[in-house]
Amino acid sequence: MSSAADIDEALKIADKVILLNEGKIVQQGAPNAILGSPKNQFVREFLGVERFPLAYNI
């Protein structure tokens, strides 16, 4: 397990990502799955999904 402050770095090195909002898990899964289908507006805004219109290329 690792924690990263740099979102881009985390998405490049992780095989699974867990996103927390106010101490609660809001989405977890592979980076491509999360970027391809963010569960809610928080996830979309946090990751800046508009920066990645297609699946994240690792």
Q: Where are the beta strands (DSSP E) in the chain?
A: 17-21, 24-29
DSSP H helix total and E strand total for the chain:
3, 2
Taking only the tens of pLDDT, the chain with its 58 residues reads 666 667 788 788 889 999 999 999 999 999 999 988 999 999 988 888 666 555 555 4
